[in-house]
Structure 1
Amino acid sequence: MDDRVVITGIGMVTAVGRDRESTWNAVKAGRNGVSKLCGMPGIPDGLLLGATVEGVGLDRYGDRNFPIALAAAREALDDSRLDLKRVDRSRIAHSYGTCGGPTPWMAEEYARRDGTTQIKPWWENLLYSAVPTRVANRLGIYGPRMVNSTACATGSIATISGMRAILDGQCDIAFVGSAQTLHPILSAGFYNMRVLANADDPASACRPFDVNRTGFVMGEGAATLVLERLSSARARGASIYAEILGGALMSDSTHVTDLSADSRPLTHLLARTLRKSNLVPSDVAYINAHGTGTKQNDAMETRGIRAAFGSAANHLCVSTIKANLGHLVNAAGAVELAITAMALRDGFAPPTVNLTHPDPDCDLDCVPLVGRRRALEHAVKISIAFGGHLAAVALRRWSGAGERCEPAPAAVAAVAARRMAA
């Protein structure tokens, strides 16, 4: 069994771009998508900040998660050049995460409920699997389906689950990712937790790793990555962004919202990720940090990276895109992993915007203000979530990334095709 998994397609929808390349170009340039939020029921206009996806309509349930999730999935499918008519779709998995079903629709329906005992369509839309199921059905893929909702680690965990499904022989291809849109309930919760940044100038409000940081700004977006067994990708001459070398999961049981002051859980997570990926600290050139812009997270993440990487931490580029794309919560891991893969493809470490006065407690090279060209061979994506969920994924740049593979010899291609049709 081929034990290598590669990324052959990426789709993204964010506040700074409605597709993969426009988002990546905006990230490289440090463009900002944050503005004052208006029109949120129960919340005064301009009180909160966020990076919203404009121009996305509601589906029939009043939900915006499904439209952006489907758009990202379709772009990833197109990017992968996978012809669903020529493969066994029962060998294509879907591993996806959201924050639940269409919350706005449910809130409205509960408000006007008339006592009816009708279940459908209530039942299917109360499920956390509502959006992922509808996306998979629309694509017409019916292999294993996996759904998780683990806050800010959702996208990374979905990716690890998809990778494991391929390595375990459950499928040959996996569509993985996550989506998130803003809602007054979520927004009010973060506001009451006092973790949100605010400023007269929305674009400069979130300042990860900066001594003057005050919190994060919320964001919207979605990303889908197509993971594929290497033999399958080679057999059809697919383009490859990067190889997924490994991933690890752990938890921090300190508190539902607080993290261990000594960073030991994160240190263990990173050490385990390197070990499972057959890497040593000096192999890694870039880390896409969780980097929320809160006082506690950024300092703790710095300590964890330093403890896990030792002296090699001095040579890392470490950056975060949350200052300009917002904190996408459930979608953060998928969007940021997609950005990490594109950073490897182009040999470019994206900047941490608004980092004008680095905090001495965050003493890594956090790529302030301006991105940097650099040979990037290996990278790690870190996700740190409310509830104590920790996840990390290690990637390797694919030689000739962005170029199509030479199709495998006919005999090998035939074996791969039979496996996918089995």
Structure 2
Amino acid sequence: MTDETPDATATARPTDPESARRAVAAVWRIESARIVATLTRMVGDFALAEDLAQDALAEALAQWPASGIPSNPGAWLTAVAKRRAIDGWRRRERYDERLAAIAHDLEREQAEATDAAADLPYDPDAIDDDVLRLVFVSCHPVLSREARVALTLRVVGGLTTEEIARAFLTPVATVQQRIVRAKKTLGAAGVPFEVPPRSEFPGRLGTVLGVLYLIFNEGHSASAGEDLMRPELSREALRLARVLATLVPREPEAHGLVALMELTAARFPARLDAKGDPVLLGDQDRRRWDRSAITRGRAALARADAIGRGRGAYALQAAIAEQHDLAASVDDTDWAAIVALYAALGRVAPSPVVELNRAVAISMAEGPAAGLALVDELAADGRLARYHPLPAVRAELLERLGRPDEAREAFAEAARLTANERERAVLLARASRPGAR
């Protein structure tokens, strides 16, 4: 055992390098948020904390093939990183001051562990305030939207830069630059490692929820590339949203977002056909929908409602998804309820996209002519001029009204606007044979 290996996490038996590499990757995905958060609190520097964690990962790759995988790998990595921090402070002649701080932290952690249950094993699913602080740092308003997404997936989600780049079809170097710039920006701005003051909390939490929703939507409907969906990205966003809801149990929109993601993801198994082409909601085999996800989503929505502060934008969207998920068919859907929910959503979070979706619901509740009138108003408004679902919806309504030539033109326009290659091919096929679903 080297000086770097904590006695408390003794290992079992040697392992091969590939097994060690897989173990390191798995531990980082699960434990990264807690490790980096703990180190950030200790060293007071977000960028340094991640560097220390990365050094510990490199040490694990070097040691674990010979010494075996520790029984508590997260604790092992944290201990190694802390010792590297001590070595750095010793070299900068700040050893005594920081050692006292570490000693205080260790005493506090030991006291808390004793009070909770001294004999309980290390729990990788335990959530503490440090993780919540890290989430807020990663989604700080001083960062660009792209930087928030990259940093959240990297540090909170535990994804590698290669995985993030692959998920968003972005060069690895671009992702690396975003992360490096983000950490420099946080350092230059002196962003504290803390949950924001209560007066700032709602707005800052909204930023965090928005980042997770953006990640989920990119997996649900890819903005570029051949694949229409990247479900692994949506699953990662859902995992992080669940963690966040656990951290802020009295915030209804955190539960609302989890509900929205669960109820939307429930339809993933039926959203693509055998060739990977999209299947419209009305044509999906509802027997393939994930009923356990629907149950979890409804439970999350109930938790949001139970807090008693009214439904926000995410909870309202979840309620709309719930109506779809509970219906046995398109005809059995309570379209009047969905129209009312979209009207409420339009008051809480007004946008032309919400109005477009409301128009679709109205077309189902009152007939395609009523929906088309609203869609034409939105088209004349111009705010959705580059939004390809607008002409796609218009084409659907024109088909239902028996106007195939106009439908053909609308499908072609939608194909021209979309950036997704597979979706473009499907829309062009629809343009060549209007009336087919």
TM beyond 0.5: no
Higher strand share: 1
Mark the structure with the bigger radius of gyration. 2
What TM-score, normalized to structure 1?
0.27
What TM-score, normalized to structure 2?
0.27
Greater RCO, 1 or 2 (C-alpha within 8 Å, sep 6+): 1
Higher helix share: 2
